[in-house]
A and B are shown apart, each in its own frame.
Chain A
Amino acid sequence: MSAYLTFLYRCFRISFVGNWQYHLWMFVLSVITLLGLNAYCKQLVHGLVTTGMTDQVSWGMYIANFTFLVGMAAAAVMLVIPVYIYKNKDLHDLVIFGELLAVAAIIMCLLFVTVDLGRPDRFHHLLLRFNFPISMLTWDVIVLNGYLLLNLHVCGYLIYCAYRKRQPSKSFYIPFVFIAIIWAISIHTVTAFLYVGLGGRPFWNSAIIAPRFLASAFSAGPAFIILTLQVIGRNTGYHVPDKALSVLKNIVTVALTINMFLLVCEVFTEFYTDSLHVASAKYLFLGLHGYHALVPWIWTAIIMNTVALILLFLPISRSMKYLNISCVLMILGIWIEKGMGLIIPAFIPTPLGEIVEYLPTFNEILVCLGIWAFGLLLYTIFVRITIPVLSGQLVHHDTSKP
């Protein structure tokens, strides 16, 4: 037990150790986190009126970011499948990076949901009176927290075993890894079902939402991992195998192709039918009755995704530079498409046909940035701890031996 506490203490200490770039990065993230915390305190005092949300558009940036990040968390498990199912040993260590990203992403999701609540002081009501299995939000609470615990267990166990120079016992983590694979699909499906089951919002009430969620998650998530692995490779001594990046690139290419195809399916169904239910899609893609705030955003996202996909198919993407450009475009495109392009249009027009557009306030944006910064901070700390442990630089000293 004391060895574990020492381990934790050393992890805490090592988070502050690094070169100047590391310190600068952590410092900037800390500042942004504090600004976000400050903005959230203002929101606690005045209520959600500090955000741009209204009765007409009652979910905004917070839920948009939550949706995107659940996808990221689910996609981290995409690294797990090649290693454990296809027994690709080269990628073994990357599993931990993927799962750590999942942990950080889930914590961000939980934070986004908490800041969206009108009465966070009543969180305990969820434990006392839980409308399971009828309310999809209860399913979401269970699967998100379960996924967090699963990944914390797997990573924590593997890292601690490496720290203690013990061989991890397979029965302690292999079953959990397999559960995590299935669980990852479920967290994003359940989040999709939150929206899909609402008959009053025809924009969401479509069977294609859940597959689109998964396809876009499995594009943006591995893309993010491609970028982070290169950052890790450059800033620590850790060598990232090329095989890893090419496997991830293949996953991303397939997923993004499916995502774009599903987009075409959705657009055709809405616009060819041209029923009254198409109002929200019209608002998003073309503008409705003179309101067109989201039109430039969605078209930028579609163009970015298309360019990213084309780049991936071209041989030019074998070079890191173009692969990175493609990844960045893809992540931004999917963030827009899944966040603003999914959540906001369902509220415009309202079920009674009123159009009130949504614009996030400065305070709301600060809270979002604060949570993102906090998540990146956590992930950096996780990586900062993991690499020395895995490479043997941070190990348990058995001071009891002579």
Chain B
Amino acid sequence: MEDNKPKLVNNESSCNGNPCSCIDAQKKPSRRSFLRQGLAVAGGLAAFTAALKPLSELNPDDIPTAEEFIQKHYKEMSAEEMESALDRIRNDVEKRYQVRPEIADIKPMDGVEFVYALNLSRCIGCRKCVHACVEENNQSRSPEIQYIRVLEMPRGTTDIEQGNHHYDRPKVPSDDHYYMPVQCHQCANPPCVKVCPVEATWQEADGITVIDYDWCIGCRYCEAACPYWARRFNFSEPKVPSEKINKNMSYLSNRPRQKGVMEKCHFCLHRTRQGRMPACLEVCPTGSRKFGNVLDPDSEVSQILKNKRVFVLKEEVGTLPRFFYYFDERYPRNNSEGA
């Protein structure tokens, strides 16, 4: 290091009261240079403050309150903490949408494991399930979030890449195609749960993979991990028209979300955990969708798993989906005549 001394100064550094030879030795500044430096500092600070100006447009509702900030993870909340969180949500929703919701934290039922079965011979691709889901679950209309995506597949292949997401025919079904709706499969070996760094998403006892919207940090790793493109992110503040708000909500399912968090299909747990059917099934005109408790051997879905040739998507990825597709007789037939 000895030969590396720069040539800028010629003394060794040793003070002993002598005039300082260090590089940052300050000579007394002239008034001009002092003013110049002062202006530079003031200008810099002004520019910094001006850079932060957009924050003044921040919606005060978006800034988390102290209570929200210290709210615990769902699994750690006591009953009182949950109740006060639900209260906060009631007030929030009422303030934003002028609708007082009925929200509860609906727990899973014992001895239940939900399974969904979808009959590809019957689905006609009408997309009613997509839009019923949107209405039921208070999803953002603009930007659009839809949990279900219906693919129009050509006959003879299950290669998803050949599916058409944007079909728009005068009438469905089309003769050459079959229709495959895809939503979250609530996998038994979920890659999304594996990758979440904060455990904001986990699988409950009844098989539903849920998201705690108040815990998610929005890193979108789960969205990258899902092999079925089932998860959605709120890139912007979700817009739901007030008159379309569904009042019956649950903490883990369809309460309105805020920007910056993930969401996805949750098998309408606010309905299904009370014995009812999910919204997508109720609206399906052909009855292609079947839902129930696979642990009950007499349920519809158990019968389907026993008797029909079911398959799952991307079985090789090892996710063990709880969403089974099957064909039974023939592809849906187009009948353009008749009422």
Whether A and B touch (Cβ < 8 Å) is answered with yes
Interface residues of A (CB under 8 A from B): 10, 13-14, 17, 30-31, 34-35, 37-38, 41-42, 44-49, 51, 53-56, 58-59, 92-93, 113, 116-126, 128-131, 134-138, 141, 194, 197-201, 236-239, 276, 279, 346-347, 349-354, 387-388, 390-395, 397-399, 401
Complex Cα–Cα for A73 and B68 (A): 36
A137 pairs with B197, CB closer than 8 A: yes
CB distance from B260 to the nearest CB of A (A): 3
A119 pairs with B216, CB closer than 8 A: yes
B6 pairs with A46, CB closer than 8 A: no
A199 pairs with B44, CB closer than 8 A: no
A44 pairs with B317, CB closer than 8 A: no
A199 pairs with B224, CB closer than 8 A: no
Partner of A237, one of B8, B54, B159: B8
B54 pairs with A58, CB closer than 8 A: no
Complex Cα–Cα for A141 and B233 (A): 22
Partner of B218, one of A31, A54, A118, A347: A118
CB distance from A384 to the nearest CB of B (A): 10
Complex Cα–Cα for A201 and B225 (A): 7
B80 CB–A CB distance under 8 Å: no
A118 pairs with B233, CB closer than 8 A: yes
B339 CB–A CB distance under 8 Å: no
CB distance from A307 to the nearest CB of B (A): 33
A-B residue pairs in contact (CB < 8 Å), sample of 12: A34-B51, A38-B53, A58-B223, A119-B260, A122-B64, A129-B198, A131-B199, A136-B195, A199-B319, A237-B6, A352-B163, A352-B165
B198 pairs with A130, CB closer than 8 A: yes
A49 pairs with B73, CB closer than 8 A: no
When distances are taken between beta carbons in the complex, the residues of chain B under 8 Å from A346 are 224
When distances are taken between beta carbons in the complex, the residues of chain A under 8 Å from B79 are none
- Identify 7 new A-B residue pairs, CB closer than 8 A, beyond the known A31-B47, A201-B224: A58-B224, A116-B220, A119-B260, A352-B149, A352-B229, A353-B159, A391-B6
When distances are taken between beta carbons in the complex, the residues of chain B under 8 Å from A390 are 1, 4
Complex Cα–Cα for A120 and B9 (A): 48
Partner of B47, one of A34, A279, A387, A391: A34
B218 pairs with A199, CB closer than 8 A: no
B276 CB–A CB distance under 8 Å: no
List B residues 160-179 near A (Cβ within 8 Å): 160-163, 165
Complex Cα–Cα for A260 and B221 (A): 29
List B residues 69-110 near A (Cβ within 8 Å): 69, 72-73
Pick from A30, A42, A93, A135 the residue with the most CB of B within 10 Å: A135
B227 pairs with A41, CB closer than 8 A: no
A38 pairs with B54, CB closer than 8 A: yes
B23 pairs with A17, CB closer than 8 A: yes
When distances are taken between beta carbons in the complex, the residues of chain B under 8 Å from A46 are 236-237
Interface residues of B (CB under 8 A from A): 1, 3-9, 12-13, 15-16, 20, 22-24, 44, 47-48, 50-55, 57-59, 63-64, 69, 72-73, 143, 145, 149, 151, 159-163, 165, 182, 191, 194-200, 215-221, 223-229, 231-237, 259-262, 314, 317-319
Q: Is chain B's interface secondary structure helix, strand, loop, or mixed overall?
A: loop
When distances are taken between beta carbons in the complex, the residues of chain A under 8 Å from B16 are 401
Complex Cα–Cα for A351 and B299 (A): 31
B191 pairs with A200, CB closer than 8 A: yes
CB distance from B119 to the nearest CB of A (A): 20
A199 pairs with B232, CB closer than 8 A: no
B225 pairs with A198, CB closer than 8 A: yes
When distances are taken between beta carbons in the complex, the residues of chain A under 8 Å from B149 are 352
A49 pairs with B5, CB closer than 8 A: no
CB distance from A328 to the nearest CB of B (A): 27
A47 pairs with B199, CB closer than 8 A: no
B24 pairs with A13, CB closer than 8 A: yes
Complex Cα–Cα for A356 and B226 (A): 17
B229 pairs with A350, CB closer than 8 A: yes
B317 pairs with A200, CB closer than 8 A: yes
Partner of B219, one of A10, A116, A239: A116
Complex Cα–Cα for A121 and B66 (A): 12
When distances are taken between beta carbons in the complex, the residues of chain B under 8 Å from A347 are 224
When C-beta atoms are compared, the residue in chain A nearest to B7 turns out to be: A237
CB distance from B69 to the nearest CB of A (A): 7
Q: Nearest 3 CB-CB pairs, A to B?
A: A118-B218, A237-B6, A200-B227
CB distance from B316 to the nearest CB of A (A): 8
When C-beta atoms are compared, the residue in chain A nearest to B15 turns out to be: A397
Pick from B15, B145, B182, B319 the residue with the most CB of A within 10 Å: B15
Complex Cα–Cα for A152 and B334 (A): 70
Q: Given A48-B235, A276-B159: A393 and B51 within 8 A (CB)?
A: no
A125 pairs with B217, CB closer than 8 A: yes
Complex Cα–Cα for A353 and B162 (A): 7
Q: Given A117-B218, A117-B219: A47 and B55 within 8 A (CB)?
A: no
B51 pairs with A126, CB closer than 8 A: no
